[in-house]
Amino acid sequence: MADRNRQKKIAIINDMSGFGRCSIAVELPIISHMKVQCCPIPTSIFSNHTGYDSFFFEDFTEQMVPYIEEWKKLDLKFDGICSGFLGSARQIEIVQNFFKHFKSEDTIVILDPIMGDDGKPYATYTDELCQKMKHLVPYADIITPNLTEACILTDTPYKKRWKLKELRELTEKLEKMGPAKIVITGIPQGSYVANYCYESGREPSIIKTHKVGTSRCGTGDIFSSIVAADAVNDVEFYTSVRKASLFIKKCIVKSIELDIPLTDGVCFEEILYKLS
């Protein structure tokens, strides 16, 4: 059998939006640019993301299992697996089974548990889905929740203001669930946006960037893509988070400069070379 495992590979599990710069459409070029082969598993297909007034949508749930079965026949092995937005309990079960089959001792699993923001779950996320998402956390080596998602996963009451001691306690709860590396993203701190980084055996670190412009779709996908590619390329975790944070800021600045509509995400293509 041909050896298809000579190059580093990351499997990404997320939806596919043809326009709007989010999910797989963002992850594929960024991970590829960082010299890692990107292998997508679509969970659903959108003409453009749901932030637009209208869109085409096709649920890919029933196709995911036979799609993955073909990868098993090819005996594929992955250096990384990155899971993003999941739309149903069935999809979470499929991803859990994917982890069981494809995660080896050398595979790094990055979980971006996209469930909510501003203290509330997204409309599609029922309590059942939130509870099911907890089942994926033990498989993760790295997890990248925002504050809302970290609170949901740990059954912690949400609030807007957090002391460093409280953030540490929150990340320690997540660590007990499985992942050794945790970054709580998008924490507002005055004129800054902060990421709280925690790694087993190290002192936590707050990584801040100046807030610019308005929140745009796809920035979380950029963040997790960079962290995932760096992880399989053996880049130190805190260094990777700092790199991702600064790159997103540069993307937003460039998007403002070119007057890109908010719904269209960030024009990362213009400055992708800066990740080299």
Structure tokens at 228: 């995932």
Q: Between β-strands 116-117 and 120-121, what pairing exists: parallel, antiparallel or unpaired? A: antiparallel
**Residue where the block lists tokens 């890109």:** 260
Q: What is the pLDDT of residue 172?
A: 96
- Per residue in 81-115, pLDDT tens? 999 999 899 999 999 999 999 999 999 999 999 99
pTM: 0.95
Structure tokens at 104: 């080896």
Give 251's DSSP letter: H
- Per residue in 13-38, pLDDT tens? 999 999 999 999 999 999 999 999 99
What is the rounded distance in angstroms from the CA atom of residue 49 to the CA atom of residue 43? 13
CB 246 within 8 A of CB 3: no
Question: Quick check: 3 pLDDT over 80?
Answer: no
| The CATH number, out of the four listed (3.40.1190.20, 3.30.470.10, 3.60.15.10, 1.10.287.110), of the domain defined by the range 9-255 | 3.40.1190.20
- Higher-scoring residue by pLDDT: 276, 267: 267
Q: What is the pLDDT of residue 1?
A: 59
**Angular region, 188: left φ>0, alpha ψ -120 to 50, beta rest:** beta
What is the rounded distance in angstroms from the CA atom of residue 116 to the CA atom of residue 54? 22
What are the boundaries of each domain within the chain? Answer: 9-255
- Per residue in 157-171, pLDDT tens? 999 889 999 999 999
